[in-house]
Amino acid sequence: MKKSIFLFPSLLALCVTACAGVKQYEPKDYMLDLNVTHTGDIRVLQLTDTHIGDKDNVPLHEKFMDLTINEAKANGGLDLIVITGDVFTFASKSTAKQFLDWVDSHEIPWTLTFGNHDEQCWFSIDWLTDVLNNYGPRCLFLDKQDDTIQGNANFAINCYKNNTLFEQFILMDSNRYNYKGYFGYDYFKQDQIDWYSRLVEHTKVMNSNTVLPSLMFYHIPLPEVRDAWEAAKNDSSLILNPVGEGQQNEEPCNPDYNSHFYDVIKEKGSTHGMYFGHDHINNYIINYDGIHFGYGIKATDRVYADDSMLGGRVIVIHDDHSLDYEDIYHTYQEVK
Ligand SMILES: [Fe+2]
What are the pLDDT digits (tens) for 277-335? 999 999 999 999 999 999 999 999 999 999 999 999 999 999 999 999 999 999 999 99
Per-residue pLDDT band at 21 (split at 50, 70, 90): low
- Going from the Cα of 157 to the center of ligand 1, the distance in angstroms, rounded, reads 24
- Going from the Cα of 44 to the center of ligand 1, the distance in angstroms, rounded, reads 20
- Going from the Cα of 323 to the center of ligand 1, the distance in angstroms, rounded, reads 25
- Going from the Cα of 219 to the center of ligand 1, the distance in angstroms, rounded, reads 8
- Going from the Cα of 280 to the center of ligand 1, the distance in angstroms, rounded, reads 6
- Going from the Cα of 234 to the center of ligand 1, the distance in angstroms, rounded, reads 28
- Going from the Cα of 96 to the center of ligand 1, the distance in angstroms, rounded, reads 16
Taking residues 217-236, what's their average pLDDT? 96
Residue 46, SS3?
strand
- Going from the Cα of 86 to the center of ligand 1, the distance in angstroms, rounded, reads 5
By the 10 Å C-beta count (0-12 exposed, 13-18 middle, 19+ buried), 57 is classed as exposed
DSSP-derived secondary structure letter, 180: S
> Whole-angstrom Cα distance, residue 243 to residue 328?
9
- The mean predicted confidence, pLDDT, of the chain is 93
Fold of 29-334: Purple Acid Phosphatase; chain A, domain 2 (3.60.21)
Taking CA atoms, 150 is separated from 22, 147, 187, 189, 237, in Å, by: 12, 8, 10, 7, 37
> Whole-angstrom Cα distance, residue 219 to residue 228?
17
Per-residue pLDDT band at 48 (split at 50, 70, 90): very high
- Going from the Cα of 21 to the center of ligand 1, the distance in angstroms, rounded, reads 32
Count other C-beta atoms under 10 Å from residue 5's C-beta: 8
- Going from the Cα of 91 to the center of ligand 1, the distance in angstroms, rounded, reads 14
Q: What is the DSSP string of 206-233?
A: HTTTSPPPEEEE-SSPPTTHHHHHHHHH
Q: What is the pTM of this model?
A: 0.93
- Going from the Cα of 49 to the center of ligand 1, the distance in angstroms, rounded, reads 5
8 Å CB contact between 186 and 178: yes
- Going from the Cα of 330 to the center of ligand 1, the distance in angstroms, rounded, reads 18
Q: What is the DSSP string of 103-157?
A: HHTT-S-EEEE--TTTTSSSS-HHHHHHHHHTS-TTB-----TTSSSSSS--EEE
Q: Tens of pLDDT along 245-287?
A: 899 999 999 988 899 999 999 999 999 999 999 999 999 999 9
- Going from the Cα of 50 to the center of ligand 1, the distance in angstroms, rounded, reads 7
- Going from the Cα of 310 to the center of ligand 1, the distance in angstroms, rounded, reads 13
- Going from the Cα of 25 to the center of ligand 1, the distance in angstroms, rounded, reads 31
> Whole-angstrom Cα distance, residue 260 to residue 268?
13
Annotated domain spans of the chain: 29-334
Res 11 pLDDT > 50 = no
